[in-house]
């Protein structure tokens, strides 16, 4: 498996909007994204304006294909509107699940 962790800095009060967008992604985009296994969003107790996204794919090729999809970019640009800056991304093989 392959995935990414995105550490985000939400604009003040925008964490719920981010969660809502991720829920919508699961309903609308996920059925059409080949190789997606799952995803999570963590809202830290000590800083709710810094949500952490974890996205899991079957393999790197599936992850890269999604990242390069224009529909995914369009969705990301909407998400980016709720953020102070671009997320801090960490991509890699998932060694244990």
**Quick check: 78 and 14 in contact, CB under 8 A?**
no
Closest CA to 51 of 96, 91, 21: 21
**Quick check: 64 and 92 in contact, CB under 8 A?**
no
Tens digits of per-residue pLDDT, 42-63? 999 999 899 999 999 999 999 9
Evaluate if residue 97 carries a pLDDT over 80: no
CATH number, position 28: 3.30.70.100
| pTM, rounded to two decimals | 0.88
Q: Which domain holds residue 21?
A: 2-93
Give the total number of structural domains in the chain.
1
DSSP symbols for 74-85: HHHHHHHTTBSS
**Quick check: 43 and 19 in contact, CB under 8 A?**
yes
Q: What angle do CA 12, 8, 97 make, to 5 degrees?
A: 135
Tens digits of per-residue pLDDT, 5-32? 999 999 998 989 999 999 999 999 999 9
- The tally of CA atoms less than 13 A away on the side-chain side of residue 9 is 4
Mean pLDDT of the 87-94 span: 97
């Amino acid at each position: 498996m392959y995935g990414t962790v995105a550490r985000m800095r939400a604009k003040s009060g925008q964490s719920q909007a981010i969660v809502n967008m991720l829920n919508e992604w699961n309903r609308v985009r996920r059925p059409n994204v080949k190789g997606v296994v799952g995803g999570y969003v963590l809202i830290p107790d000590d800083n709710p304006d810094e949500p952490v996204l974890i996205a899991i794919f079957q393999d790197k090729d599936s992850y890269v294909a999604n990242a390069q999809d224009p529909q995914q970019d369009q969705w990301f640009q909407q998400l980016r509107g709720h953020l102070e800056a671009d997320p801090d991304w960490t991509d890699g093989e998932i060694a244990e699940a």
